[in-house]
Structure 1
Amino acid sequence: MAGGSSDVTTTPAWSGAFDRGSLQSVLTLPLEQVRSWAFEGSTGAGVKVAVVDSGVDGDHPRVGGVAGGVAFVLDDQAEHGYVEVPGPHEDLVGHGTACAAIIRSIAPDVEIYSARVLGANLKGRGALLHAGIEWSVEQGMHVTNLSLSSKAEAMFAPLHAVADQAYFSGTVLVCAANNLPGPTYPSQYSSVVSVAARPGADQLALAYNAHPPVEFGARGIDVDVAWTGRGSITATGNSFAAPHVSGMVALMRSKHPWLTPFQVKAVLHAASDNSVRG
């Protein structure tokens, strides 16, 4: 599985669609002051956000606590090849902590939950990713951040099914595209909010790609992110763009809790920098 990491030295795949020279205007719904309506005055209160990743260090000052979580651990003797260990757990890499801290910086009053599915090498099996998404749906998460994805063709159908389950259950899946070219799942599915990195300092800046599958571009180039040891690093990757969008979705769903996943995507489209009214 992959999504983005701290050692990316080139521009992540899919990011080129959001370059100034290639970004096209897109027609949007005739909504007045959509960014103000969607985000202004919201803190994310009442919204549950799952970070499906390498774990989250709740003690990191930028994370500000974790409300709960679960670790999925490989076990070849178990029925499904892994066991579910509920409760507190560490971040094995720093990647999940980085994502959680970005979300917290945008939506300070969200409840963050950690579903650890990656190991110390920032890799894991597709079955664990599937289990983490399924857990987030069963726990009634409003938003699930997936700064990872699977290249395995065998996982296409199972991940598609659980992504649809999330969509119809009201859990918004925000998924980073892989940093390398080629299809990965679930970022290719229309039921998720797919994200790639673009430069800039504005945490709420957003652009829409007129030629998906990757639909949205958000801040993800040279970002100062939280990391292990209560420290920080400067990192680039689609992984760090996704939690910016997860934070925006949390603001939106806190302020307008009745929004369905497809309505959330429509509002994000309308709030994009390159959206113009027809």
Structure 2
Amino acid sequence: MQKELKGAGVKIAILDSGIKSDHPSFVTKPYKGVFLEYNENTGEVEICKDCTDKIGHGTAVYGIINRIVPGAKITVFKIFTDELELDSDTFTLFLEHVSKYDNFDIINLSLGTTLCENVAELNRLCEEISDRGTMIVSAFDNGGAVSFPAALESVIGVDSSLDFKTIRAYQYVENGIVDIVGKGTFQRVAWNDPDYIISQGNSFTCAYITALIAEAIYSGVKGSVQIKQWLKKNATVINSDEAPKNDRTKYEDLKIEKAVLFPFNKEIHALVRYHNMLDFAIEGVYDVTKSSRVGAHVSKFLHKEKTDKEFVIQDIKNLDLSSFDTMILGHTDELQTLIGEPNFTQNLIQHLVDNGKKIYAFDEHPNISNNIFYNRVDRSDVPLNQFGKLYQNTKPVLGVVGTSSRQGKFTLQLYLRQKFLEDGYGVGGLGTEPSSMLFGMEGTFPCGYNTSVHIYNEDIILYLNKLMWDISQKDNDIVIVGSQASVLTYATSNINTYPLVHQQYLQATAPDAIIICVNPFDEISFVVDCIKATEALSKGKVIAGVCFPMKLKEHWSGSFGSKEPITKEEASLFKQKYEKDLGIPFYTLGVNEQMESLYQDCISFFCE
């Protein structure tokens, strides 16, 4: 009686480049070979006869699995012809067809895409396949990027490492997008021409893991939960790292309806200027009497700009608790110094909490109440066990950068956001001001004044990359990002002048089109350097510049940093000079017709 071959009865599907069915190394021939083609005219998947591998990749994958579980009933689906490239929509159609072709135990995908434009649809399909009892095993991108479907929760995502040199040595990973890290060394694999080559890659590691899972199923292990337990039990290394606990109040939990603002400093101005973009009502604006702002209209401090809802700034001592449910509490460290009360903010917060009020705070105020939200980025927010893999965003990104602080970059960001929204576009947003989420932006990276960012270096890239990916997966047509301060430093005298975090922000958000904000007093050579640095860091294109309409105030004894508005004539001269020297259009912030032209430049860039 013939001995049963290992893997007998286990049904495996391989989606790849086909197979060289008469390869001398195969212990058994494939059960079946199927060539799938997409008919563009009908939009249907068609089955063709010729499953011959013209590349060699599918032959290698089949050879690995066949060697370990020669009794497995393997069906090879040819989905690549001359090169290993396929758009994500067509791949999804092929995978759906395969899932209905037979009741497979395992689908091996030694492939993946980094630019996946239909993640939600692919995820839904993979979950349906998994729910029907089929394990999907997929390789991660060899270049180190996050790829799909390997990164999906319902898929066993396989990576490789040179640390593992045998087929049964692997790391089992919990709490991350990667599930298995296996053999990554060079090896001899079957090929189409020549018959063998020496190669390495996640594709082959994926095939090994598929074969091991087939062994488990053959031995009686059934169901995805039990198979994962089996993989963990037999792992060489188990990675059970967990992210630090994060029990901070989430913004969506505040549910703001009526708010008051305090104090009326620079960071609060945008809330009044663009109050029509908020999804709650502003019921009052407050400050302390020593600020010299109480009793004045808010427009006095908005460069004389009138708003369609004028507020008179009130004394915080006369706070009407019945008029609001939430206080937007701005930065107060300088205020406390001004009034000489170091515990003022703490006492105010306690008074609000005792009266059942909620607080959206620009500064960190931990361990006081669940009714307080504040922006903070720390290790608990960094994706865990990602092994350096980065998401590749497919949505267009528009960025706003500058040559210094206090240039109206956030104002410009809000203006552009409002224009896109008014024209019916879906707009995602990532801001660096603590008020960003109040305007509907999905994320905040508060790296400006009183920064509450507590991560560094590669963690910044990982965090922002994941945040940008999450934003891109919403129903957005464009994502707008804005930075703080300058891209470069004027001086090299102190490490604190180096905008390292802002440079990392620019690299991680990677805007395609960038608007650079400048000052009338900037040296052209410095602006040129900032443009070059911006384009080098982001890999994007600076398409326009915006001049902040304030110049240094000259006095008979010199300039001491105070500013005054530029005249229309000066603005026109600056515009002409910048456009001539830099070769890109320049506009003046706040001039309506020029801002409209800037917006049209953005539309034109992304429509090319």
Q: 1:147 aligns with which of 87, 90, 110?
A: 110
Identity of aligned residues (%): 26
Alpha-carbon shift at residue 262 of structure 1 (Å)? 2.5
| 1:81-131 deviation per Cα after TM superposition (whole angstroms, max 9, x unaligned) | xx4215451112110110111001111111111111123111112233223
Aligned to 1:89: 51
C-alpha RMSD over aligned residues = 2.2
Aligned to 1:10: none
Contact 2:173 2:239 in 1 (8 A): no
Q: 1:109 aligns with which of 59, 71, 75?
A: 71
Aligned to 2:210: 246
| 1:106-165 deviation per Cα after TM superposition (whole angstroms, max 9, x unaligned) | 111111111111231111122332233223322111111101112233220221111111
Alpha-carbon shift at residue 195 of structure 1 (Å)? 0.6
CA distance in 2, matches of 1:106, 1:67: 16
CA distance in 2, matches of 1:89, 1:123: 17
Aligned to 2:463: none
Aligned to 1:195: 158
CA distance in 2, matches of 1:194, 1:276: 15
- Structure 1 residues 87 and 165, CA gap change in structure 2 (3 angstroms): farther
CA distance in 2, matches of 1:109, 1:70: 19
CA distance in 1, matches of 2:159, 2:99: 24
Give secondary structure in 2 for the equivalent of 1:174. strand
- Structure 1 residues 87 and 140, CA gap change in structure 2 (3 angstroms): farther
* 2:34 aligned with 1:60: no
Aligned to 2:438: none
- Determine which structure has greater relative contact order: mean sequence separation of CA pairs < 8 Å that are 6+ residues apart, divided by chain length: 1
Alpha-carbon shift at residue 269 of structure 1 (Å)? 1.5
Contact 2:138 2:149 in 1 (8 A): yes
CA distance in 1, matches of 2:19, 2:75: 8
Contact 1:61 1:230 in 2 (8 A): no
Runs of 4+ displaced beyond 6 Å: none
Give secondary structure in 2 for the equivalent of 1:229. coil
Give secondary structure in 2 for the equivalent of 1:140. coil
CA distance in 1, matches of 2:198, 2:154: 31
Alpha-carbon shift at residue 69 of structure 1 (Å)? 3.2
CA distance in 2, matches of 1:141, 1:219: 25
Contact 2:114 2:147 in 1 (8 A): yes
Note the residue ranges of structure 2 that are not aligned, 5 or more in a row: 241-608
Aligned to 2:192: 228
Give secondary structure in 2 for the equivalent of 1:113. strand
Alpha-carbon shift at residue 184 of structure 1 (Å)? 1.6
* 2:83 aligned with 1:121: yes
Aligned to 2:136: 173
Aligned to 1:14: none
Aligned to 1:3: none
Contact 1:116 1:132 in 2 (8 A): no
Q: 2:182 aligns with which of 207, 218, 230?
A: 218
Q: 1:271 aligns with which of 209, 234, 243?
A: 234
* 2:124 aligned with 1:161: yes
Contact 1:45 1:109 in 2 (8 A): yes
Aligned AA (2:43): E
CA distance in 2, matches of 1:79, 1:234: 39
Alpha-carbon shift at residue 180 of structure 1 (Å)? 1.8
Alpha-carbon shift at residue 210 of structure 1 (Å)? 4.6
CA distance in 1, matches of 2:194, 2:213: 26
Contact 1:69 1:86 in 2 (8 A): no
Alpha-carbon shift at residue 201 of structure 1 (Å)? 4.0
Aligned to 2:401: none
CA distance in 2, matches of 1:106, 1:201: 16
TM-score (norm 1): 0.77
Aligned AA (1:171): T
Query: Higher Cα Rg: structure 1 or 2?
Result: 2
CA distance in 2, matches of 1:225, 1:249: 20
* 2:208 aligned with 1:261: no
TM-score (norm 2): 0.37
* 2:83 aligned with 1:133: no
CA distance in 2, matches of 1:201, 1:152: 30
CA distance in 2, matches of 1:42, 1:269: 25
CA distance in 2, matches of 1:246, 1:194: 11
Alpha-carbon shift at residue 67 of structure 1 (Å)? 0.9
Alpha-carbon shift at residue 56 of structure 1 (Å)? 1.7
